[in-house]
Structure 1
Amino acid sequence: MPATISITVPPKTTTCFVVATERELGDARLAMRRQLAEPFAAAANERLSTSRLAITSYRAADSPWDLTGAAAADRDDHESETRARKAVHHVGVTSLLQVSGQPFGAQVARAAARALAATMAGVIVDLNTAQILPQDTPENPRFALADDWLGVSLPPEDEHCSDGDESIDGCSCVELTTRGLRRFGLPELQIAGVACPQDLAALNVLRATAQRLMPIGQLPGPQVLPSYLPLVSDDLAGFWGIAEPLWADGPLPVQLASLGPRLISIGPPPEFQGTLNEWLWDELPPVMHELLGCTADPLPS
């Protein structure tokens, strides 16, 4: 297997949010002035009406955006999904930015979409992840991938195996693929062939790997990734935006492999002789099997 993976980080990437609403777009600049706080207010005001922050409005029947597949992060939030599908108007907030301006540029665009949604009583769909964002949530100045920037989640419980086989290699049902890394100039990540009982551990491997690769997305042009990547505690902690170490043992090596120009697979390192699920069960720090979520550290006062 090659010792490195070649990728190309594009010079610019696009982030797009759509506010699905019953109301027509009024004065977008005024709405954002009323709703936006710093550090986003000044940046949004300066970028508005340029390719760095373009706001466009359509009747839903004429919209270039198909929101029928948008899903709420909370699977019980059927109301938001219905509102997104049946909205009368679509207001797009699009940001085309140099990758060196990420992730702050994406935060500015999402903060602007939140301001418009608050004014227009709309729901926000992140087109990069196909997810409906939680309502009434202010944009956090501290960036963390865990803050709804990565569209990958555990499969619903009712999609797990029904035969009750809890053995390590009892099935290979689960395939997890990220959505949203492309807006940061990176390929998406995938881990496939996972047994249902190991799905959370596999998800946390994806999260830690995504966090580890984030700085590379700010370097436009050809880049070389090591195919053998040792993940450390700070990678998973950084995903959640916390400084507290999440495991005390040494690095967790993973093997990366290219599945195409914009997709990378993750698996056990070549020195591990067992199966993917044996690796997930035997080699990962215990926290990878336990951590569903945690709260980001507060910003310094």
Structure 2
Amino acid sequence: MTITDDFLPVPVPETLTATYLIPVLGQPADPARALAGLGPRLAAPVRDLAEQMLAGPLLTVRTAPVSELPHLPPDLLAAFGAADDQLARLRGASELMVVQGEFRPGWPPAHEWAARAVAAALAEAMGGDLVDVFGFQFLDPDAAVRSLPDEQGRIRLVDWILVPYSDDPDGLWFTTKGLRRFGLLELQAQGVPPSLTRAWGAVMTGVARRLLRTWTDKLGEQDLPAFVQLPVMASVTSHDIAVAYGNPERHDGSRPARLRLELDPATDPEADSFLSLLPPEAHRGPAGRYFSAVCGTLFGDERPEIRHTRTDEAMVRAIATARAGLPGVRDRFRAGTLPEATRLLVKYGLPGPDGPEYVWAEVTSWLEPERVLGTSASDAANDAAVRTGRPVVVDAAEIVDWALLNGARMVEGGWTQAVLDNG
């Protein structure tokens, strides 16, 4: 392999392992029988793959006492979206069924597809859920089945990776969590402007899709290479983003945006190494300025997202549902009983020439039911005083939605957002 300045050599692991856990509250289910029961709902290629691996040495299923397995911290599971009833079932279980698949890097990721299919079948047979140990997430059987590939082998990458973010001295620090399922290093970007929170999560997902395709294409050879050369300058298009979200027909054919890759190896053997996304070396100025230009290239004029409510029945129901839950979420906020590490945001309307502009604000105080104190989560187009991080006072009568966020992930609420995202 020839190493040049145009390519970045990324090491390839010899094998990959997927692990899923299923709480046992009664009798453990038989894996083969459970898979046969789920079979009609699986695409034929996945069903055949799961059956073959279950019958061979590459996929194992065992039942073990909880005391013999690594501890699953409930607060961390809750931070990644676990519901109270799921945590209760986990606490009530003395045994767990452990499903593990092992395979070489490449496409298809047989270890993940087969292990998740078998785990979903067992969870459904026992009337419970499965825990994806890699993502540290609970999945109900239906969600697990929906995430598996269709008859053409297509998946939504967003069902397999997360894009969390946290505060960084120069803005926000974004990472991916899920690319290691496929043997690829996780991505990171630092110094992202808070006003790009939503857009940059989509950019990271699109870049992940583009790099994953390059990665698996180069692993298609008979002999597994020690390294794969990824281009130092990675391109991403709106099509990459649309495919990653499962909507390949919904992209505007925008010009590609380019980001530089740099290997950031971990100094701690227990920590992760990353592929950092950076501006080109010729860029002068803060990285956030270039990231804004990337979003402008991919999504058009990089102004804040301006959302005007639709008047259809789905949106009316979404607003009504959100508003009905406002008293309850306010009580939880004031009592300090919201899930750990979550933030409460509310969506409200600002007057504009074309109708109300809807923006989000993070709640900091809610002493009076009719008035919310917070900080703006985005810049408003129609009100120059509403800027990311600045204090705002929100009239509760103008609130149309609320959401609990853990990092970049919406774990509760967001009904109007779901309607908008689903078109």
The answer (yes or no) to whether the contact 2:50–2:114 under 8 Å persists in 1 is: yes
**1:102 and 2:118 aligned:** no
Runs of 4 or more, structure 1, over 3 Å off, are 64-68, 71-75, 81-87, 287-296
| 2:353 counterpart residue number | none
Equivalent position to 2:72, from 63, 66, 73: 66
Between the aligned partners of 2:287 and 2:263, the Cα distance in structure 1 is 17
Between the aligned partners of 1:51 and 1:216, the Cα distance in structure 2 is 29
Question: Any residues of structure 2 matched to 1:151-300 within 5 Å, and which?
Answer: 151-153=162-164, 172-218=170-216, 219=219, 220-221=224-225, 222-260=227-265, 262-284=273-295, 285-286=298-299
TM-score using structure 1 length? 0.81
Displacement after TM superposition at 1:278 (Å): 1.8
Structure 1 spans left out of the alignment, 5+ residues = 162-170, 297-301
The answer (yes or no) to whether the contact 2:176–2:187 under 8 Å persists in 1 is: yes
Q: Matched residues, percent identical?
A: 24
The answer (yes or no) to whether the contact 2:128–2:140 under 8 Å persists in 1 is: no
Amino acid of the structure 1 residue aligned with 2:94: V
RMSD: 3.1
Amino acid of the structure 1 residue aligned with 2:211: L
Displacement after TM superposition at 1:187 (Å): 0.7
| 2:149 counterpart residue number | 141
Q: Secondary structure at the match of 1:70?
A: helix
Amino acid of the structure 1 residue aligned with 2:161: L
The answer (yes or no) to whether the contact 2:173–2:191 under 8 Å persists in 1 is: yes
| 1:166 counterpart residue number | none
Question: Any residues of structure 2 matched to 1:75-90 within 5 Å, and which?
Answer: 77-90=83-96
The answer (yes or no) to whether the contact 2:99–2:115 under 8 Å persists in 1 is: yes
Displacement after TM superposition at 1:256 (Å): 0.8
TM-score using structure 2 length? 0.59
* Residues matched between the structures, number: 282
Stretch of structure 1 that moved more, 106-115 or 273-282? 273-282
**More relative contact order in 1 or in 2 (CA 8 Å, sep 6+)?**
1
- Residues 142-173 of structure 1 show CA distances to partners (whole Å, capped at 9, x for unaligned) of 33343520032456xxxx89xxxxxxxxx635
| 1:6 counterpart residue number | 9
- Residues 113-144 of structure 1 show CA distances to partners (whole Å, capped at 9, x for unaligned) of 11111111222111111122245333443333
Q: Secondary structure at the match of 2:135?
A: coil
The answer (yes or no) to whether the contact 1:67–1:85 under 8 Å persists in 2 is: no
Stretch of structure 1 that moved more, 244-253 or 282-291? 282-291
Amino acid of the structure 2 residue aligned with 1:83: R
The answer (yes or no) to whether the contact 1:51–1:94 under 8 Å persists in 2 is: no
Between the aligned partners of 1:227 and 1:249, the Cα distance in structure 2 is 22
**1:16 and 2:19 aligned:** yes
Whichever of the two has the greater Rg, that structure is: 2
| 2:392 counterpart residue number | none
Structure 2 spans left out of the alignment, 5+ residues = 267-272, 308-416
Amino acid of the structure 2 residue aligned with 1:179: K
**1:45 and 2:51 aligned:** yes
Between the aligned partners of 1:256 and 1:86, the Cα distance in structure 2 is 46
Q: Secondary structure at the match of 1:111?
A: helix
The 3 A distance-change label for structure 1 pair 178 and 86 is: farther
The 3 A distance-change label for structure 1 pair 15 and 89 is: same
- Residues 62-118 of structure 1 show CA distances to partners (whole Å, capped at 9, x for unaligned) of 22463543246547x333244345533221111101223523542222111111111
Equivalent position to 2:36, from 33, 38, 53: 33
The answer (yes or no) to whether the contact 1:53–1:94 under 8 Å persists in 2 is: yes
The 3 A distance-change label for structure 1 pair 19 and 280 is: same
